[in-house]
Amino acid sequence: MSDALDTVFAALADPTRRAILAMLLEDDMAVTDVAEPFEMSLAAISKHLVILTRAGLIAQEKRGRVKWCKLQPDAMRAASVWMQGFGQFEPVNLDAFERFLEEELDQPQP
């Protein structure tokens, strides 16, 4: 589980790969269409797609002569669950905490 989670977070660490995932939210896309908005070679985009595929974030399939990319949203489930674990704590109200400390510090010590 930890290796899979590491692979997903490593794939998500790159802004180009995050942009590709955002594009694939709309619909499946041909690799050439994925590459179009980026100022990099098709080979460079292909490397990004391999990383996303290995992480399970996308699937690639050949339809005729064209290779298509499809988002696999379930692959982010483990990462999402892991991140939500940090949401169990209430946000700290710093103003209230500061008032509490002032009150505690102002009291005479026994």
H helices, E strands: number in the chain? 6, 3
Give the residue with greater pLDDT, 4 vs 1.
4
Amino acid at 54: R
Per-residue pLDDT at 6 exceeds 80: yes
Domains of the chain: 2-106 (1.10.10.10)
Per-residue pLDDT tens over the stretch 36-75: 999 999 999 999 999 999 999 999 999 999 999 999 988 8
Helical packing angle, 2-12 and 42-54, nearest 10°: 150
Residue 17: pLDDT band (50, 70, 90) is very high
Bridge partners of 71?
A: 58
